[in-house]
Structure 1
Amino acid sequence: MPQRDTPDEPRADRSGERPDFADEPVREVERGGVRYTLLGTAHVSPASVAAVRHHIESGRFDAVAIELCSSRHRALTDRDAWRNMNLFQIIRDRKAGMMMASLALAAYQRRIAEQFGIEPGAEMKAAIDAAEAADRPLQLIDREIGVTLKRTSRRLSWWKRWVLTNGMVLSLFSREEIAEEDIERLKQGDILTETFSEFADQSPELYESLIAERDRYMAARLRAENEGRGERRVLAVLGAGHLAGTVEALRADADPVEEVRELDAVPPASRIWKFIPWLILAAVLTGFGIGFSRSPELGWSLVATWVVINGGLSALGAAVARAHPVTVLAALCAAPLTSLNPTVGAGMVTGAVEAWLRKPRMGDFESLRDDVIHLSGWWKNRVARVFLVFFLSNLGSAIGTWVAGASMIKQLA
């Protein structure tokens, strides 16, 4: 099968000068009767926007592919998407953590836009609009962000997972300005990759899931969408950091359908994670049993230790989130029990109670994207505060479980 990999340089304008976007990298690969033009963009560069429009408006392409999944495409194009959020459903389906991750990415993007006067993702929005204006089909070729995060999580040890998750969420509250060198790095990658760049540099597992796998996935999606449909030209708009890997994957002999199926699969969670909650339950109940067998006073002291420390730290987390007083009380009562129940977390209870007591208004959904940029917005916006209550009460309960457990061991020693 003939394959070609050639550069495609923008032509000089009538004055003989190269256009502003001439430095945007372009690679071409031809296989299966399809000529793929891969345009490497900087996600925060006006030149990239101009390059995208130039290529699509040239009329040379039969289809346009972009480095977005359906959920990120919806977030970029549908500003009313947050209005349809069902908080109770999200909490019940254990998706509150994923929702906070999405808010983290959105907040990071908006902080860049506010600080530097540039809009991350503008080149993708330009591709969407230009493709629609030119009546060209739009192909979303990136893997769903939820699948990427789950596959990433499955690869990490429990400690790296804990550091990554809490580091990302706690970074939301940072008041530090985004350094210009971070913006420069964005020109070589994308928002998703940059968010985890500090960890990816030190973790082969993160690099594989966030970068290498997505290169293979996007190449497979391009081939699956376009091969077997006759001769055609396809423009693929990718972050510059994905250009080399996607070109290499396009030239490989992997079956695209099988490749997509393999990379869309989420590996099962380690069995040890299923057993840890039950081990905690068994250990705590055994401690209670030993305590009461020695003396009722010791037994009740152990129970009080568990309830006060576990419930107290969870309630403290809810209070820091400025939850309703009833929600704080719910955290105090629920955490000692949920810590012994592998199927329910303290945050599920406190999040639901907070959402019920302080029902978000339509204005909270409409202003959610703007509010989460600033520290105070997480407490002002009722939607954001529900997730804040969920996270901090869960964090307090998790810390309380280990602190209370250590205290009980000392009493029994």
Structure 2
Amino acid sequence: MGEIRLVGTAHVSQASVDEVRSTIEEYQPDVVAIELDKARFAAIRNQGEKPTVNEILKGGNFSELLVQWSLAYIQRKIGMDVGVEPGAEMLAAIEEAEKNNIPIALADRDIRLTLSRFWGGMGIIEKLKLLFAVVGAVAGGGDEEELDIEELTKNQDLIEASIEEFRKFSPKGAAALIGERDAYLTHSLLRLASKNEKVLGIVGAGHVKGIKEYMAKPETLPPFSSLVEQPKGFPWKLAFGVFFVALFAFLILLIGFSGVGLDVLLEAIFYWIIINGVLAAGFTLLAGGHPLSALTAFGVSWLTSLNPFLAAGWFAAITEAKVRKPQASDFQEILDAESFNEMRKVPIFRVVLVAALANVGSTIGTFAYFIFIFPILGIDPTVILADGFSNLISFIEGILPF
């Protein structure tokens, strides 16, 4: 087994760039393992193929995309503040390794799988907390404090404290972003060390402790196969969708059998269309969507809320894409944006934002309907539901052959 040396870096630190270059020059490893996957390696070399608008729409992971882009923006903003591009230390490692004719190994897990496990593993409360935190950071909320990136890379206690805070904030999110990747990176480094005498690992400072602990006790490493599986959690989204469809159908059925009259029944259906449509359209406009996109959201929300396999945001996003006409260059514009307002002006960002917020509006509309429908109709739900249920049972008994 070969020797493994780690360099813990900050992704927006000039000191990290300098340390990476000097360590490669001094250590002369047989291979340089960097905390990148194929997609991020291609992106950092400006060689990656950008997804098309159709691929983004078909993927449907609009909230994940927004979080990913927002986190990238936050990292870039920190980089602008300290004068260093995000990922500069990884690019320095690549350039220095190539200059010394040293092979490069990509040691990290596919970013798409990591984000899928990150987002899929979190509960709804964790997701909401994260979204609020990201929105606050992107919008510039919170206390403005001087951030010493160089001190952060040197102070392991501070790094560990930050990671612990993240674990408290989002236990499952931290597991996917940090814990699982500590294990994945360790597997990569040990595999390289089995074939090379000297391996240099360039990883984020937050991974150093976890990697060293796994190296000290390799038997504690989780199986590699468990780190690359797609998450298979309970399909809560589908379950909630089916539940609310069944609840709506049952509610309409009880109102119909309660004897209040056809006009009240039609009014209940009318308000389902209005409440879902208005909120979906309103959130579309809040995202900066075109009026035609808002009209689309209004028109389909009542129906998509009755089908767990459809989403109002998807239809609104298609309309938005037709109107805004995103280009391949939009992805670079998102990366180059210096403010959230600049990001919002980029067509592809607007399309994804419209999709996400239209879905949020439609979901809120579904909850709001069940909360406010009886006060709106001006009827007593206990009487209506009791009478409706009683009449329904009598009807069923009347048609049964026994």
Task: Please give the secondary structure, in 1, of the residue aligned with 2:208.
Answer: helix
RMSD, aligned CA: 2.8
Q: Quick check: 1:405 aligned with 2:373?
A: no
Q: Give the deviation of 1:401 after TM superposition.
A: 1.2
Quick one: which amino acid aligns to residue 317 of structure 1? F
Matched, 1:42 2:10: yes
Give distance in 2, aligned partners of 1:308 and 1:195: 46
| Whole-angstrom CA distance in 2 between matches of 1:271 and 1:85 | 26
The farther-off stretch of 34-43 and 53-62 is 53-62
- Distance change in 2, residues 1:360/1:209 (3 Å): closer
CA distance in 1, matches of 2:151, 2:252: 54
Alpha-carbon offset, residue 331 of structure 1: 0.6
Which of 93, 96, 102 is the equivalent residue of 1:136?
Answer: 102
The SS at the match of 1:44 is: coil
Letter in 1 for 2:51: M
For 1:260, the equivalent position in structure 2 comes to 224
The alignment partner of 2:223 has SS state of helix
Distance 1:350 1:342 in 2: 17
Q: What is the aligned counterpart of 1:307 among 263, 273, 285?
A: 273
Which consecutive residues of structure 1, in runs of 5 or more, have no partner in the other structure? 1-31
User: Structure 1 residues 395, 124: CA separation in 2 closer, same or farther (over 3 Å shift)?
Assistant: same
Q: How many angstroms apart in 2 are the aligned matches of 1:308 and 1:98?
A: 29
CA contact (8 A) 1:306 1:405 kept: no
The answer to whether the 8 A contact 1:310-1:335 is kept is: yes
Shift of 1:170: 6.0
Query: Which moves more between the two structures, 171-180 or 245-254?
Result: 171-180
CA distance in 2, matches of 1:387, 1:203: 24
Q: CA deviation at 1:220?
A: 0.7
Structure 1 residues 315-355: Cα deviation after superposition (integer angstroms, max 9, x where no partner)? 01111222222111001011111111111111111111110
Change (3 A) 1:197 1:153: farther
Deviates more, 1:141-150 or 1:302-311: 141-150
2:30 maps to which residue?
Answer: 62
Cα deviation for residue 286 of structure 1 reads 1.6
TM value normalised by structure 2: 0.83
Please identify which structure carries the higher helix content: 2
Q: How do 1:5-44 and structure 2 match up within 5 A? A: 32=1, 34-44=2-12
Contact 2:333 2:343 in 1 (8 A): no
2:145 aligned residue: 179
What is the CA distance between 1:37 and its match in structure 2? 0.7
Please say if residues 88 and 355 of structure 1, whose CA atoms lie closer than 8 Å, have aligned partners that are also in contact.
Answer: no
The answer for the alignment partner of 2:385 in structure 1 is none
Report deviation, 1:380. Answer: 1.9
Q: Distance in 2 between matches of 1:109 and 1:173?
A: 14
Note the 1:71-220 alignment, pairs <5 A: 71-78=39-46, 81=48, 84-165=50-131, 167-169=133-135, 171-174=137-140, 179-181=145-147, 183=149, 187=153, 199-220=166-187
Residue in 2 that maps onto 1:18: none
Alpha-carbon separation, structure 2, partners of 1:194 and 1:77: 33
Q: 1:181 Cα deviation (Å)?
A: 4.1
Q: 1:122 to 1:241 in 2, by over 3 A?
A: same
> How many Å separate the matches in 2 of 1:150 and 1:353?
26
Unaligned segments of structure 2, at least 5 residues: 382-402
Q: Counterpart of 1:86 in structure 2: which amino acid?
A: T
CA contact (8 A) 1:175 1:375 kept: no
Q: Is contact 2:97–2:103 with CA below 8 Å preserved after alignment?
A: yes
**Which residue identity lines up with residue 331 of structure 1 in the other structure?**
A
Partner residue, 1:275: 239
Aligned length: 372
Check if 1:296 corresponds to 2:262.
yes
Overall identity of the aligned pairs, in %: 31
